[in-house]
Structure 1
Amino acid sequence: MAEAVPDVALVTDYLAEQENKGLLRFITCGSVDDGKSTLIGRLLYDSKLIFEDQLATLSRDSRKHGTVGGDEIDFALLVDGLEAEREQGITIDVAYRFFTTEARKFIVADTPGHEQYTRNMATGASNAELAIILVDARQGVLPQTRRHSFIVSLVGIKHVILAVNKIDLVDHSQEVFERIVADYRSFAASFGFETLQAIPISARYGDNVMSRSEKTAWYSGPTLKEQLETVEVADDLEQKPFRMVVQWVNRPNLDFRGFSGTLASGSVKPGDDLVVAKSGRTSKVKSIVTYDGKLAEAFARDAVTIQLEDEIDISRGDVLAKATERPEVADQFQARLIWMQDDHDLLPGRPYLLKCGAKTVTATVTELKHKIDINNFDHLAAKTVQLNEVAVINLGLSEPIAFDAYEANHETGSFILIDRLSNHTVAAGMIDFALRRASNVHLQALDVHKASRAAQKDQKPAVLWFTGLSGAGKSTIANLVEKKLQAGGQHTYLLDGDNVRHGLNRDLGFTEADRVENIRRVAETAKLFVDAGLIVLVSFISPFRAERRLARELVEEDEFIEIYVSTPLELAEKRDPKGLYKKAREGKIKNFTGIDSPYEPPENAEIVVSTAEKSPDELADQIVAHLSDRGYLSAPKD
C-alpha cells in the first residue's frame, strides 16, 4: 500500500499561519511541588503536541517514576527530562518547551522550585515577558513564592498570572482561593505589575487550564489558555534607541570591513549617523549586509553586518548607537544583583570580571549598600552576599563601558560577574544608573616620577610579597631580608600584617570580607611605595589568590615577586609563637586561617621557601640572591 503523500499546499498554508502568529515567552515559577512541570505537561498534552510514541513512553515512565499512582499519566515527566529529576521527583534545570494554540505561539521555561536552584530560575526569567506564579492551594504563599515573585519584578517582567493550583485538593473552595489571592496582592502591591490575573486551576485534571471547569462555577474570569492568548505584551524594542553590540569585526578581504551583531533595539538604515559609544567617533552607515543580501533597513533582533563609510577603530564589545541617542558611558554605577555562587560569598573589594554584552572588564564591588529581605523586602546592612541573595551595590570598573539603565534596555543594561580564577559565573546583575563621583578629580602630572626616584636610589623598585600560614616564618624571613638589603645600601620598607592592623587597618576584623579589604588596602599602599622607588616587603597571610592577584596587577609585571613560605600546618601549629592556634582549636578565635578559614596556596610563586628545610637566615640569603641575579639591587657600597 502506497504511503500517503502530504498535501504541499496544506503544509505551506500551515507554516504561513504559524509564522504570522505572535510569540509569547513565559516562565512558570513558585515553590517546590506547586505543580509547575505538571502544568506545562498538561498544556503540551491538551495542545495535541505529543506524538504517539512520546505518549507511550510517558505512560511507561509514569508507572516507573510517576507520583500520581495507578495508570494515570504524570504530566510532569514531559518536562523533567533529566534522569536525576525523574528519580528525585524535582526540577533541577531550566526546561524550555514550545507549544501553539489557534491564537498564539508560546515558549515556556519551567524552572526549579528548590531554593538552591533559584539562580536557574533567574536565568529563565531573564528572557520572559510573562510569569505564571504557581501556588499550592493547600500551602498558600510561601517564602519561595515571595522570592520568585520578587525576582520576576527585578528582571522587569510586567505581566503575571497567579495560578492557584491543586484547587481540587481543597474541594474547589472559593474562600481558600480568595484568601490566597488577597495575601499575594498584598505583598506584591509594590512590584509594579501591569497585569495580575488570578486563576484557580488543577494542572493534574485540567480544571480552568484549557477549558472552563464546572467545579469552580463561582469563578468568572478567563481560563489559563485565554489569558495567555489575549494578554497584551507590548514589544517596543523597535521604538527604543538603536543599539548594537559588536560581536565580530568582519574582514573577509581587503575591500570589505564590517561590524557584525544583533540589533538589541531600534532600527538602522544606510545614511544614518552612528557613533561608537565609548570613543565618541562617528560615521555614516554605508550598507547593511546579511547572508541573503543587503537590507534597506534593519530592526531589533535582526542579525546583520554594518559597513561604515569611514575607517574608525571599532572592536568586539563596542556599542554602536545613533549619534543623537547615545547610551551612558561610565566606569562606576549602582546595580542590583543576584548572587549565584554557593561556595564563596560576594566580597566587596575582591576583583571579578564583569561581562556586559560582549565587553569584559575587571570590576570590584566598591560598596555593598544593602541586601533585600525577600520575606518583607526590608533593606538589611551586610558585609557579604550569599547564594540566592539579592543586593544593591556600587561597582567600580577598570575602564568605562557603554550601557543603558536596565529599565530602559534589558540587553545593554544587564551583566554577569565571573570569578577570575575558576571562570564560573557568580552573579547576574541589572544596572540602575551611573555614579558621577569625583568627576572633577584628575591625575596630576608630576615632574618627579617613579623612574627618577628609583634612579636616585640606584635600584629597581619591587614588591616582595610574603604569603603563608600564621607561624610559617614570614615576618622572621622578611625582617632578615630587609636587614640584608639595608646593609647593602638598598632603600626599603616593611609592611607587616600585625603592625598594619594597629593603624591603617585597625577597624578590620578577620571575617572573609575584612581579610579581602585588609589586603586591598595594603596592596594600594605597597603600590605607593613602589612609586616612591622603594623595595617594599609585605608580610601578610593573604590567604586568597584573588587578592594576591589584585596586588600583582596594581604594579608593573616585573615589580611583583610572590614569595611563598611553604610550611606544613602541623609544623606551623607546633611552633605557635603567639598561642593563636591553641586558641583557635579551643574556639576562642574565629575565622582563623588553616583551622576554620581557608588558605589558598600560590600556584606560580616566583620564590618558594620552607623553614622546615633551611634556616631563616639561609632563606633570606636565597631571596636576596634572587633579587641580585635579576638586577633589582645596586652595587654594594664601600
Structure 2
Amino acid sequence: MSTATATSLLRFATAGSVDDGKSTLVGRLLHDSKSVLADQLEAVEHASRSRGQDAPDLALLTDGLRAEREQGITIDVAYRYFATPRRRFILADTPGHVQYTRNMVTGASTAELAVVLVDARNGVVEQTRRHAAVAALLRVPHVVLAVNKMDLVGYAEPVFAAIAAEFTAYAASLGVTDVLAVPISALAGDNVVEPSAHMDWYGGPTLLEHLETVPVGSDPSAEPARFPVQYVIRPQTEEHPDYRGYAGQLASGVLRVGDPVTVLPSGHTTTVAGIDALGRRTDIAWAPQSVTVRLADDIDISRGDLIAAGATPAPTKDIEATVSHLNERPLRAGDKVLLKHTTRTVRALVKEISYRIDIDSLEQRSGAEGLNVNDIGHVVLRTAEPLALDAYAANRRTGSFLLIDPADGTTLTAGMAGEAFDTVRATDTAEEDWV
C-alpha cells in the first residue's frame, strides 16, 4: 500500500503566503497534466482577455469566488479532483492570507502531503513558518517546499539553496523530516510538470513526478481497529426479526469476523459476529470502509460509542490537547463548549489555557488570557462524559476533535489530543454546573 499504483489516491494540500503564486501553480499543474476540460480553459481564456491579458490566467481555475477574483487572493478552500495514468489526486488549495489560516487547517487535516510555496524573492516569511507549523501539528507525513518565481531571480541556484536550507532546518525543529525542495516557476511551467531547461543544476523530480511517486497510505493491519458507531440498525422485519447492526466508517485498522473487541466507554467486551458491506456479508473490513458490524452479545450500544480492537485507549473526562483556534471569538479558560469526537458530542469545560505557541520561535508563551483566531496553543479540558481518545500522534482520526459553540453550533477550535489522563478530582461545583 505504500507504492504508487494506477488506483492509488493521494490527498494533498497547497499553502503559501499571499502572492506566492499558489493559485497559478495549481492552475499550471491542472493545465499541464491535461486535467482541465476544454470549456473550463475556454472560460479562463475569455476572462483573461476581458482583463486585457494575452495569456490565460491559470489562477482563475481555482479562485472561483467573486471576492477571490476581485482581490487576487484565495479565501476559501478549493478542492480539485484530477488523475494521471499513475495516480488519482484530491487537491485542497488553501488560502495564503493570515486571516484565513484556519482554512488551511481544514484542507490539511486529511492530507498526506503538503505543498508549501515560497516566493524566491522573499524567502521564508512568517506565514511560511505558520503553514509549516500547521502541517507539523496535523502530522502531515510529507512536505514539499516549492520555491516559486525562480524566473524572477534569474534561476539562481544559490537563492534556491539558501531558502531550502532555512526551511528544512525550521521543519526539522518541528519534527518534520520528510521535506523535498523543488525550484519552480508556476507562470512559465518550470519543474511543475515538465523539467526546466533553465535549471540544469537541479537533479531532482518535478513537482508532479514527486506527487505521482511519493509513498501514500499505510498498512491498515498495522493500526488498531477503531469503529465509531454512527447508527444502530434494527429493521425488525419478519426476515430479520433479531437483526442488530452498528453502522459507521472504520476509522483505522482491520476488523475480522471473530475478532475480540471492546465497546467504549462502557468497557464491555464481545466478539465480531458478522460484517455487512454494501448489502453483502464479508469476513473482513478495513479503513476507511463504511460497513455494518454485528456483535456476538446483546450490548447497550448507541451512536457515539467506539468499537475497538487491539490496545484500547482508557476513557477519560480529563483531556490535554494541542489546539488550533479557528474562530474570531477568543477561546478562554472557563468557556463552556461542546466537544465533538468522531460521532460523539459531549459537553466540556475549558479548564486551562496552558500556553500559546510563538510561531516564529516555537517558544511556549504561558500566561495567555486566551487563544485568538489562528493561534496554536495547549489546553486542558474536562468533559461531562468519558471519551476514548487515542493520542493524535498515533491516530489522526480518533485523536482529533472539534470544540463547538453550544449557543449557535459554530466551530471554535480544532484539537489534537495529547496526554489524556484519568485524574478525577473531587466534585468542583463550578465545573459540575456545566459538565
TM-score range, shorter chain: over 0.9
Pick from 136, 148, 169 the counterpart of residue 186 of structure 1: 169
Pick from 221, 235, 258 the counterpart of residue 238 of structure 1: 221
Residue-pair matches, total = 427
Pick from 207, 230, 233 the counterpart of residue 190 of structure 2: 207
Identity across matched positions, percent: 48
Please list the CA deviations of residues 316-353 of structure 1 after superposition, one character each: whole Å capped at 9, or x if unmatched: 0000012x4222311112100011111x2111011100
Please list the CA deviations of residues 182-208 of structure 1 after superposition, one character each: whole Å capped at 9, or x if unmatched: 221222222222421111100111001
- For 1:353 and 1:237, the matched residues in 2 are separated by 31
Matches for 1:47-196 after TM superposition, within 5 Å: 47-64=33-50, 70-196=53-179
- For 2:64 and 2:280, the matched residues in 1 are separated by 40
- For 1:325 and 1:131, the matched residues in 2 are separated by 30
Matches for 1:7-406 after TM superposition, within 5 Å: 20-64=6-50, 70-253=53-236, 254-322=241-309, 324-342=310-328, 344-381=329-366, 382-406=368-392
Following superposition, the deviation at residue 229 of structure 1 comes to 1.6
Counterpart amino acid of 1:359?
R
Counterpart amino acid of 1:375?
D
| Alignment match, 1:495 | none
Residue 131 of structure 1 contacts residue 159 of structure 1 at CA under 8 Å; is this kept in 2? Answer: yes
- For 2:220 and 2:371, the matched residues in 1 are separated by 33
| Larger fraction in strand | 2
- For 1:552 and 1:21, the matched residues in 2 are separated by 53
Structure of higher CA gyration radius: 1
| Alignment match, 1:509 | none
Please list the CA deviations of residues 426-473 of structure 1 after superposition, one character each: whole Å capped at 9, or x if unmatched: 0000001212425xx667xxxxxxxxxxxxxxxxxxxxxxxxxxxxxx
TM-score (norm 1): 0.65
What are the ranges of 5 or more consecutive residues in structure 1 without an aligned counterpart? 1-17, 444-520, 525-549, 555-638
Following superposition, the deviation at residue 552 of structure 1 comes to 6.3
Residue 158 of structure 1 contacts residue 192 of structure 1 at CA under 8 Å; is this kept in 2? Answer: no
- For 2:7 and 2:286, the matched residues in 1 are separated by 19
Counterpart amino acid of 1:63?
R
What RMSD in Å do the two structures reach over aligned CA positions?
1.8
Counterpart amino acid of 1:357?
T
Residue 336 of structure 2 contacts residue 434 of structure 2 at CA under 8 Å; is this kept in 1? Answer: no
Following superposition, the deviation at residue 138 of structure 1 comes to 1.0
Residue 220 of structure 2 contacts residue 254 of structure 2 at CA under 8 Å; is this kept in 1? Answer: no
Residue 332 of structure 1 contacts residue 397 of structure 1 at CA under 8 Å; is this kept in 2? Answer: yes
What are the ranges of 5 or more consecutive residues in structure 2 without an aligned counterpart? none
Runs of 4+ in 1 over 6 A off after TM superposition: none
User: What secondary structure, in the 3-state scheme, does the structure 2 residue paired with 1:312 have?
Assistant: coil
Q: CA distance change for structure 1 residues 553 and 128 in 2, over 3 Å: closer, same or farther?
A: closer
Residue 246 of structure 1 contacts residue 317 of structure 1 at CA under 8 Å; is this kept in 2? Answer: yes
- For 1:279 and 1:437, the matched residues in 2 are separated by 18
| Alignment match, 1:433 | 419
Please list the CA deviations of residues 87-111 of structure 1 after superposition, one character each: whole Å capped at 9, or x if unmatched: 2111111011122223221111100
Q: CA distance change for structure 1 residues 400 and 553 in 2, over 3 Å: closer, same or farther?
A: closer
| Alignment match, 2:398 | 412
Residue 239 of structure 1 contacts residue 265 of structure 1 at CA under 8 Å; is this kept in 2? Answer: no
- For 2:220 and 2:316, the matched residues in 1 are separated by 24
Please list the CA deviations of residues 376-425 of structure 1 after superposition, one character each: whole Å capped at 9, or x if unmatched: 11111212110100001111111111110001111110000001112100
User: What secondary structure, in the 3-state scheme, does the structure 2 residue paired with 1:118 have?
Assistant: helix
Higher relative contact order (CA 8 A, sep 6+): 2
Residue 238 of structure 1 contacts residue 300 of structure 1 at CA under 8 Å; is this kept in 2? Answer: no
Please list the CA deviations of residues 284-303 of structure 1 after superposition, one character each: whole Å capped at 9, or x if unmatched: 22211122410111111111
User: What secondary structure, in the 3-state scheme, does the structure 2 residue paired with 1:188 have?
Assistant: helix
| Larger fraction in helix | 1
